Amino acid sequence: MKSSSNKKLRPLMLVGTGSDVGKSVLSTALCRIFLQDGFHPAPFKAQNMALNSYATPDGLEIGRAQAVQAEACGLPPHTDMNPLLLKPNSEHTTQVVLNGKPIGNRSAYEYFRKDGREHLRAEVNAAFSRLSAQYNPIVMEGAGSVSEINLRDSDLVNMPMARQADADVLLVADIDRGGVFASCYGSVMLQTPEDRARIKGIIINKFRGDIHLFEEGRKMLEEICGVPVVGVVPVFHDIAIEGEDSVELEQKHRSMDESKVNVAVVLLRHISNFTDFDRLERDERVNLFYTNNTRDLEKADIIILPGTKATLDDLYELRRNGVTQAIVRAHHKGTMVVGICGGYQMLGQTVNDPDGIEGSIPCLPGLGLLSIDTTMNAEKVTRQVEFEFNGDVCKGYEIHQGNSTTEESVLMENHCIGTYIHGFLDNPSVINYLLKPFDLDEKMVEQESLESFKSRQYDLLANHVRKYVDIARIYEILSR
């Protein structure tokens, strides 16, 4: 269905019956569909909580999901798309990033109390206004469950934001986890009458089996909720869209495969930006898996220490559970070790935090595999970068706190590589360099560029959602 890009559509918000029901992926699909149909859409999530983040072209920080959605819209990511980002430091505290810059750490109690919330509300509302003045339509995403009525007064991202934007709302439910009737009914009925009237449709997500078997259930759901079901979307496995949350990480591969090059990513408690490994994971020569099992680490062909939101805390845990010793033993036997961002800091001689930027641990020895020392500081580096590797110009981005005692963007010493650059492994020359010692097929990791691959995946996702969601009905809703 082709639509006129001159026609103004109302904003559309996707909210969920809970976390990980598929709001982000469906928002990405709708962004792509609107772009394909001649509109100029943009994504918006007032508040996101995630450890996977991205550096915008102007050197600011937003949630990875909104960067992905911006790509689907054919736009560079901007902080107005995610003005408020929460990056958990622990179970009780989080770093608050406002308009792309950290403004300090807050406990959950401090953050969600009413005092000071109106300042944050004004900031996210202003970001939405700037965005909606430029793009059409705005595809908005809620957070977690839409029916957390105890947080209603302090909520910045769900129905209060929908009211502010005068948005139409679609409720997304994950049928795979069970309880879809109760979760949909409860999510609708726990809203105020004003907010309930905004919910114009339900999308059932992650369906398995014969979709026709749910026809009776669809009618029953519409009857009890008083809201039309505008789509039942089957689960998919053959479309590669970057994940954002630890739930996606929990579904990753966890075991060795002797027929391939085994790449072990150390499983950290505060792992961040695990999308760094998506391209390597797709290489048919590689078996990439996540583990903190010391025996598997010592058997792996390549070990990667990933990024982390809490370098010292994770380093302390790795020392406590014997992982650091296993990595050092493997390295001494010739295993290539790669450290990215926080993992790079861990590979050095020391990690120092004299001002308590990360917490209560002032200093820890690193693994001693690279000749650097790192000192944490309050200033965060966020920027996109180009660098040269093995004769090729490569791209990536940096998001980190702490300075290390080297000017090199990529430090290589004695079959050990360290870098602050996220996206380091998105570059074919890097992957082929790592795999060259294994006497494999000399073909490139992917003939297709990363940009082309991503664009094709967004189109596949859009086609999948078009097949199972009544897009014409959504246009009708947004045109009222």
Which of the residues are catalytic? 341, 422
Of the candidates 257, 255, 305, the one whose C-alpha atom is nearest the C-alpha of residue 277 is: 305
Q: Tell me how many degrees the CA angle 3-165-172 measures, rounded to the nearest 5.
A: 70
CA distance 13 to 140: 4
User: With contact defined as beta carbons under 8 Å apart, do 382 and 60 qualify?
Assistant: yes
User: With contact defined as beta carbons under 8 Å apart, do 363 and 299 qualify?
Assistant: no
User: With contact defined as beta carbons under 8 Å apart, do 305 and 263 qualify?
Assistant: no
HSE on the CB side for 446, CA within 13 Å?
18
Question: Which pair of structure tokens corresponds to residue 245?
Answer: 């949350």
CA distance 292 to 314: 12
Of the candidates 231, 228, 177, 241, the one whose C-alpha atom is nearest the C-alpha of residue 199 is: 228
Residue with tokens 């908005």: 140
DSSP string, 296-331: HHHH-SEEEE-EES-HHHHHHHHHHTTHHHHHHHHH
Q: Where are the alpha helices (DSSP H) in 133-214?
A: 159-165, 180-189, 193-196
- Count, in order, helices (H) and strands (E) of the chain: 17, 25
Q: Tell me how many degrees the CA angle 224-226-232 measures, rounded to the nearest 5.
A: 80
What are the residues whose beta carbons fall under 8 Å from the beta carbon of 364, sequence distance 6 or more? 312, 315, 316, 319, 350, 351
Give the number of other Cβ atoms within 10 Å of residue 260's Cβ: 16
Kind plus residue range of the DSSP H or E element containing 426: none
Indicate if the alpha-carbon torsion angle 291, 295, 296, 297 is positive or negative.
Answer: positive
Q: What is the largest CA-CA distance in the chain?
A: 67
DSSP string, 63-94: EHHHHHHHHHTT----GGGS-EEEEESSSSEE
Q: How far is CA 403 from CA 102, 141, 157, 381, 407, in A?
A: 17, 35, 34, 9, 10
Provide the residue type at 180 as one letter: V
